Structure 1
Amino acid sequence: MAQSSSQLISLEQAMADPDWLGRQPLQPYWSDDSESIYYRRKRQGAEQTDIFRIALDSNTENQILPEELNNIDIEGSILSSNSLLKVYEREGDIYVKDFGSSNVSQLTRTSAIESNPRFTTNNDKIIFNRDGQTFVRDLNSGLEAQIADIRLENIPPEDNKNYLEEQQTRLFDIIQLDQARKEREENFNEENQRLDASRIALPFYMGKNSELLLSVLSPNEKWLLVSLRNNTERNLGRAGIMPNYVTSSGYTETREVRARVGTTDFSDQQLYLLDLQNHQVANLNLNQLPSIQVNPLSDQSEDAFPDTDQEQKNRQLQFVNLQWTQDGKKVLFQAISRDNKDRWLLSLDTENLRFAELTTDSSQENKEETSDSEAIISDLMAPIYLDSDHLRLVHHNHDPAWINRQFIGANWLPDNQSIFFLSEQDGYGHLYLFDDENRNVNASSKQITRGKFEIREPTSTRDGKQIYFRSNIAHPTIYNIYRLNINNEEIEQITSLGGMSRYQLSPDESKLLVVHSKATRPDELYVSRARPNAESSQITHTISDEFNNIAWVEPEFVEIESSFSEDPIHSRAYTPTDDAYGRPAVIFIHGAGYLQNSHQGWSGYFREFMFHSFLVQQGYVVLDMDYRASSGYGRDWRTAIYQQMGTPEVQDLSDGINWLVENKNVDRNKVCTYGGSYGGFLTLMALFNEPDLFACGAALRPVTDWAAYNHGYTSNILNIPELDPAAYERSSPIEFAEGLTKPLLIAHGMQDDNVFFQDSVRLAQRLIELEKENWELAVYPIEAHGFREPSSWLDEYRRIYKLIKDTLDN
């Protein structure tokens, strides 16, 4: 139903610079005393943002001037264990705030970028990273120390002489004497450096061709966990070339863009633990991870790996989320297979850990693990094996399609022994708990939330007794804030705003900062007490009067029966107020695939929302569907497109048309569709494979051939072309272009470095060769994947509307 207002939205207004909506609050956060809110707001007509502060007690707001920036609170909650100090990074430098005196001390002021600050166990030092190395700053003395000298090279050779050098040494006593003097000098200097506590420790040589990816120091300063890979085995693939024809020079300029799926070679990563007290190194041996040697495609594709007798090898791993406990005794980390079908969560306990001497067998195994027989690592000891007294598996999740990385978060509780983490193992993203002190080999994690909903952004309280999170418990399209009591697993609802809400817990844990929106109301800031069913107070009012005066169409949130799933297809329906029969309709197809757009909050597709109100004003019914592949509805809904992109989604679009005919008086022959990116891809798949489904379609920045898209996204869903060519052929619109019979608009920015303009060019050539009619390609020379200029948006949507109107009116 339309809101009571006299003003209607025009196409020109909908596609104008969005500042007219009111410039909503950005990046809000709490002050350190939990009494104020900071947020950014875009300047009118400019890209820059300003910082504002709202004092909650007086409800007053003021802008922070540039000269005041050094004195304001900075977002983040990296506190000392006694909660007396806070450390943070600002503009690449490190600061410490004393809550007792409110004094802020700047620890660094360099041209280098210092990052990732945290406290040592005793709270008397700050750990931070600079230029790939780890440093520690003593808060009392001011001394800054490099914690380890990591050198990505082999140990300097003791004897690597050619024939002439050997001859010189053999024939001339003076040569032998000089070499002996040099060796004594080197030994003398090395011994002095080793024994002199005021100097940096001797270097750790981690092997030539190594690349340091991560290094995390334990807060007790005894251990350094590092992730390495062999950069000679890594191939970024052949880069694409993108020309720019509209340049300040007047000449065509080019730039390199990403490689295609399956054309890159990845180097296996290895984890090493450095014992800083004894100057020793040990590899974390993960050869016994469950399923590490299993070929995940062996039961999915008959010809994927035809040589079944080939030697079984470990799958390549990537390591993420390395986290030490505050006492520095344990570290949590995750290993994810390069094919993204397995995720292992592991913990390493360093208490009473002593490295063993390297034997001949373990030395050979280490060489095989490093994937570089020439790499010579200094002070290398025997590996630390899985299921030893120290290294253990916390959780293993296998997904025959792909692991959902939105549900892999894991953290220590404040007791330094319990781990809470997210997993989609039961079909939805839920919370699990693991007691790392339970050394029983059969110990397993405990699921502590259950149901057909998803847990997002879990935050533990300081006492470790409760976890706050946002979730769609009440309805798949409504997100409120909840609190879990860990002991009894009871869930309490904190906010009841409906729509879409995100949150931040205040530093004193008494309040919530809530970013809230509804379908026709953009983001505003609210504050709520952190207790069940507390009222939320709105503290910003940034939506413009001009926006408020528009007669926006309120979407109806509907559940469309699916012909292929027990679960309904959640959708937004926009309906004219008249009771006409034989109505025309438009189905909008959201992009990204794994995205939820039929939630009840403000959509990231806000221009499309305004366009839909415009269409309703012209008498069209509009349907916006969360087809299978969309987020928010569980694992099975997400992975329905595995190896068959474009099939389940088009089936859902067909169900949407049936619903429109049965419920909205729509004429089945008067339905058009449009969408961008993934939505553009689905528009093409529908028009090519189901030519009687839609009367016309507009494919904006569409993927036309998945073999030309990036690796990270595409390989999850379709594997890679060399291993699973059939999946690519059944999922790429260019393979089905012969099926086009209805009017088609293709619109694409030539500077698109996400979905390349080449995708649309190749499809255009294919359509030309097929002698197809009633299609056009609209070119936008300066635009990337997401358009920037209002004139481009307006031109594109004028063309979309013209296509729809001309087709359906006739």
Structure 2
Amino acid sequence: MRRIALAAAVALVAAPAFAAAQSAPQPLTMEQIMANPDWIGQPVEAPYWSADSQSIYYELKRDGSEIHDLYRVAAVGGDSVKLSDDQRASAGGPPVFDAAHRHVAWLRHGDVFVRDLAGGPAIQVTRTPQNESDLQWSADGSAVQYRDDQQWFSYRLGGGAAVPVAIVNAKDDPDDDKPDALGRLQLHLFKSLRHDKAEHDAERQNDLALDQADDTRAPRPFWLGKDVEIVGTSLSPSGQWMLAVTQPAVSDKDKAKQPAVNHYVTDSGYPEPEDARTYVGRNPPAPQTVWLLDLASHEKYELSLDKLPGIDSDPLAKLRKQTQKVLRKDGHDDEAKALDAPKIRGVSLTGFVRQPMAWSDDGQAVAIQLSANDHKDRWIASVDLKDHKLVTQNHLHDPAWINWSFNDFGFVPHSHTLWYLSEASGYSQLYTQTLGGRAQQLTSGHFEVSEVTPSPQGDWFYMLTNQQSPADYDVYRVPVAGGDLQRVTRYQGLNNAEGGASYVLSPDGGKLAVVHSSAYVPPQLAVINVDGSGAQELTDTRTAQYKAMQWIPPQIVQVPSSHGAGVIYAKVYKSADDEPSQPHPAVFFVHGAGYLQDVTNSWSYYFREQMFNNMLAQEGYVVMDMDYRASAGYGRDWRTAIYRQMGHPELEDLLDGKAWLVKNQNVDPNRVGIYGGSYGGFMTEIALLRAPGEFAAGAALRPPSDWTSYNDDYTSDILNDPQIDPEAYRISSPIEYADQLQDPLLICHGLIDDNVMASDSIRLYQRFIELHKDNFWLSLYPMDRHAFEHADDWYDEYRRVHELMTRYVKDRYSTGVPVAKAP
């Protein structure tokens, strides 16, 4: 990878009106930057096209409220129109078309509507208190199908009622009560009982015959067993087949213990406890079972998982044996036996993607995605509908963990050809594969592919990639048959910080509605032709007050790794009028995780922190924000570097960043602070506890301090189960290094945080007390969860962070090291 000392200032590449001011910024205040963000202007959210491809709808949050309003703007440009309640009722929703493009269906307020594209009024199919979902058309276009909870319904065009396609029940079949020995004796002894049974059997057979002869009758239920719960269903567009996913039901007494968060400021005046999530390893994912239901013959088939490649192996065998040996040595034989590996590993279908089952348009081919519950394997398998078995089409193994991103898949329109994303090359890339054939890799390189959309005609794939550089995201396209990857947009900032799609293809396949942003411009809407021509801005939702602000452009730099990791991308904030001969104080902002990238040319999820970083830069600090190892956007090896050692590679990267600042930005190595929230708070604690003396002070906001008390989905991916791999948890948890605290540490935590619970910070605080440590403080916020919502809490938290940095970093030598005082 090409190395540069310092990149040019990031260009803001939206419309000219979006350019950031380059003159000296006005002094920022804490009250302003931590105020309710309505003063900035609302980001564009949830865009979708009208059925005729002439207009685009989008949402904006209402100022002073969490209510969202719906707007419409013409695709050719012009003013946006806020829809009234009456207009909103007739606006439709994201359109779903039949194959012939004669009819359209949509969901609005959870109900189903259909309309003939040739004209005529919309027909409301449902009016229910629950939310219908998974809207689709039958293969012949005669009916619209939808899901209500786990039951599927069909509405046939031309009138009539929506009818159930199949009924699935998590109960035993009441007609499948075979008598036991005592029951057989009763039938042998009593003629009346034999007569009653014969009558019952005859009535059942008559009902079966009527069901087959009369399609106006309700379908017979499928009984999947009383000891399971149904967690997923998917209907074939042909209406002949259904897939159902079950897992063992868990009784209340068998459920893992749930910790509680306590609300102390309540309407009632009384403290109110609230159950939160369970701890990692206490609620392991249940093994799931896949059923194929033949709706015509009313037969059900369990799809065996035994033939999935590697399903009978144990990737954790070595670790498992080591831990069992220790347990047996210490006399914990029962715990050791409980760690025995199953003969067949459990799998899940409902974890990686919202809908892990995909059908071809004609309903004659189906594929499912399965993931091993130990996170080491992913399979994409088709279902042989004739022989009722799974056929593996793609198998991805990762000795660390399969990514929870980059698992999109489906069928190319009008075909039985699969498309899917895979990290097999080391980066997320796009593949196609005919069923039973060889995979064709359509994209390749050191960049990530996501948000894949096939064109309605099935001739192009559109996708989001950062091909130009890790920081630049745009839409590209590639022919389905293979060919060159073509760049469509040139905004450089299409990863939408507000969630949802970064772009939406128009129903006619000719245009893209694009949600783009830049460092100081929240997500805005534009439209562009699919060949990259005709780009046009449609919105600018920023307030006049915000547009008048002047900001410091972040500079993207590449920091050389001293640990063989190549380079670490980082953003640097530095005032333009600083004194170059004067050694500077510096602050590291450490972004959170999950799977996140913050060094991009787009609007940051951490927009408040970015404004705070501007304020620090105005005060003479140099601020660095690094995409440390485990950040998104840099490929599989970067992602998995933290496997079984969270906090270790990332700390190496932060220390490399500090060395780079000292060498290239005249930073005083003794006046460097660090702060961050969530994973950034964890890394702040790791930095102070594992590298004492390197950072003058740190502020850890909502930090996980002991990974054994975090959740299962995230933590067991990276550290395995704590019962199997206790060493990974020991070396990764800040609480294990509490005895090394020597630098000032501020901890801030929301008391009703149900993600990283406040107990993490309170337990670490108690450790410091027992170790007789100095210069540590804990600030609790009774009315906020993991993501703060109250402006007063934002202000108070960052006032404390600012005072900490001023006292222990910036003024460390100008006034002498001060006496400890709570910030």
TM-score scaled by structure 1? 0.91
Cα separation, 2, equivalents of 1:151 and 1:727 = 42
Moved more, 427-436 or 412-421: 412-421
Maintained 8 Å contact 1:560/1:571: yes
Shift of residue 39, structure 1, vs aligned partner: 1.3
Maintained 8 Å contact 2:73/2:79: yes
| Aligned residue number for residue 27 of structure 2 | 8
Cα separation, 1, equivalents of 2:709 and 2:590 = 21
| Aligned residue number for residue 119 of structure 2 | 101
Cα separation, 2, equivalents of 1:102 and 1:476 = 49
Maintained 8 Å contact 1:297/1:304: no
Maintained 8 Å contact 2:241/2:292: yes
CA offsets, 1:390-434, max 9 Å, x none? Answer: x42111000111111211110101132211110011100000110
Matched, 1:471 2:465: yes
Task: Indicate how the Cα distance of structure 1 residues 422 and 233 shifts in structure 2: closer, same or farther if over 3 A, else same.
Answer: farther
Cα separation, 1, equivalents of 2:754 and 2:138 = 42
| Aligned residue number for residue 554 of structure 1 | 553
| Aligned residue number for residue 333 of structure 2 | none
Match for residue 71 of structure 2 among 33, 52, 58: 52
Cα separation, 2, equivalents of 1:139 and 1:182 = 38
Q: SS at the partner of 1:149?
A: strand
| Aligned residue number for residue 526 of structure 2 | 526
Matched, 1:287 2:310: no
Q: How does 1:201-280 map to 2 (within 5 A)?
A: 201-232=219-250, 236-280=255-299
CA offsets, 1:554-581, max 9 Å, x none? Answer: 1110000011234210000011222242
Cα separation, 2, equivalents of 1:48 and 1:758 = 33
Maintained 8 Å contact 1:749/1:784: yes
CA offsets, 1:308-365, max 9 Å, x none? Answer: 9978611101125211111111001111101111000111243xx2x6xxxxxxxxxx
| Aligned residue number for residue 512 of structure 2 | 512
Task: Indicate how the Cα distance of structure 1 residues 580 and 593 shifts in structure 2: closer, same or farther if over 3 A, else same.
Answer: farther
Task: Indicate how the Cα distance of structure 1 residues 336 and 172 shifts in structure 2: closer, same or farther if over 3 A, else same.
Answer: closer
Cα separation, 2, equivalents of 1:80 and 1:8 = 57
| Aligned residue number for residue 621 of structure 1 | 622
Q: Which amino acid aligns with 2:374?
A: D
| Aligned residue number for residue 121 of structure 1 | 139
Cα separation, 2, equivalents of 1:300 and 1:465 = 47
CA offsets, 1:742-777, max 9 Å, x none? Answer: 111000010100000000110010000000001110
Maintained 8 Å contact 2:319/2:725: no
Moved more, 41-50 or 419-428: 41-50
Shift of residue 721, structure 1, vs aligned partner: 0.8
| Aligned residue number for residue 770 of structure 2 | 769
Cα separation, 1, equivalents of 2:575 and 2:730 = 40
Maintained 8 Å contact 2:247/2:287: yes
Match for residue 486 of structure 1 among 464, 468, 480: 480
Maintained 8 Å contact 1:9/1:551: no
| Aligned residue number for residue 459 of structure 1 | 453
| Aligned residue number for residue 370 of structure 2 | 335
Cα separation, 2, equivalents of 1:708 and 1:104 = 51
Q: Which amino acid aligns with 2:101?
A: S
Q: SS at the partner of 2:97?
A: coil
Match for residue 132 of structure 1 among 129, 147, 150: 150
Q: Which amino acid aligns with 1:318?
A: S
Shift of residue 738, structure 1, vs aligned partner: 0.6
Moved more, 174-183 or 799-808: 174-183
Q: Which amino acid aligns with 2:262?
A: P
Q: SS at the partner of 1:471?
A: strand
Task: Indicate how the Cα distance of structure 1 residues 762 and 226 shifts in structure 2: closer, same or farther if over 3 A, else same.
Answer: same
Task: Indicate how the Cα distance of structure 1 residues 58 and 475 shifts in structure 2: closer, same or farther if over 3 A, else same.
Answer: closer
Maintained 8 Å contact 2:456/2:508: no
Shift of residue 188, structure 1, vs aligned partner: 3.9
Cα separation, 1, equivalents of 2:176 and 2:154 = 31
Cα separation, 1, equivalents of 2:422 and 2:428 = 5
Q: How does 1:654-803 map to 2 (within 5 A)?
A: 654-803=655-804
Maintained 8 Å contact 1:89/1:116: no
Matched, 1:314 2:344: yes
Aligned length: 766
Q: Which amino acid aligns with 2:346?
A: Q
| Aligned residue number for residue 574 of structure 2 | 575
Shift of residue 7, structure 1, vs aligned partner: 2.7
Cα separation, 1, equivalents of 2:779 and 2:150 = 46
Task: Indicate how the Cα distance of structure 1 residues 544 and 172 shifts in structure 2: closer, same or farther if over 3 A, else same.
Answer: closer
Shift of residue 160, structure 1, vs aligned partner: 3.2
CA offsets, 1:176-230, max 9 Å, x none? Answer: 5445444444444444444433323433222221221222221111111111222
| Aligned residue number for residue 147 of structure 1 | 165
Cα separation, 1, equivalents of 2:489 and 2:215 = 55
Moved more, 82-91 or 167-176: 167-176
Cα separation, 2, equivalents of 1:576 and 1:454 = 33
Moved more, 56-65 or 307-316: 307-316
Q: SS at the partner of 1:147?
A: strand
Q: Which amino acid aligns with 1:409?
A: D
Match for residue 499 of structure 1 among 484, 489, 493: 493
Moved more, 576-585 or 405-414: 576-585
Q: Which amino acid aligns with 1:481?
A: V
Cα separation, 1, equivalents of 2:121 and 2:461 = 31
Shift of residue 143, structure 1, vs aligned partner: 4.0
Matched, 1:27 2:46: yes
Q: Which amino acid aligns with 1:419?
A: L
Cα separation, 1, equivalents of 2:721 and 2:361 = 41
Task: Indicate how the Cα distance of structure 1 residues 618 and 232 shifts in structure 2: closer, same or farther if over 3 A, else same.
Answer: closer
Maintained 8 Å contact 1:215/1:224: yes
| Aligned residue number for residue 439 of structure 2 | 445
Maintained 8 Å contact 2:77/2:537: no
Cα separation, 1, equivalents of 2:534 and 2:192 = 89
Task: Indicate how the Cα distance of structure 1 residues 88 and 100 shifts in structure 2: closer, same or farther if over 3 A, else same.
Answer: same
Shift of residue 236, structure 1, vs aligned partner: 4.3
Q: SS at the partner of 1:729?
A: helix
Shift of residue 64, structure 1, vs aligned partner: 0.4
Task: Indicate how the Cα distance of structure 1 residues 168 and 75 shifts in structure 2: closer, same or farther if over 3 A, else same.
Answer: closer
Q: SS at the partner of 1:553?
A: coil
CA offsets, 1:655-707, max 9 Å, x none? Answer: 01001001111000010000001000010011011002100000000100000
Alignment RMSD (CA, Å) = 2.2
**Where does the alignment leave 5 or more consecutive residues of structure 2 unmatched?**
1-8, 10-20, 326-335, 351-355, 496-501, 813-823
Q: Which amino acid aligns with 1:326?
A: D
Cα separation, 2, equivalents of 1:535 and 1:182 = 71
Maintained 8 Å contact 2:519/2:604: yes
Cα separation, 1, equivalents of 2:397 and 2:176 = 44
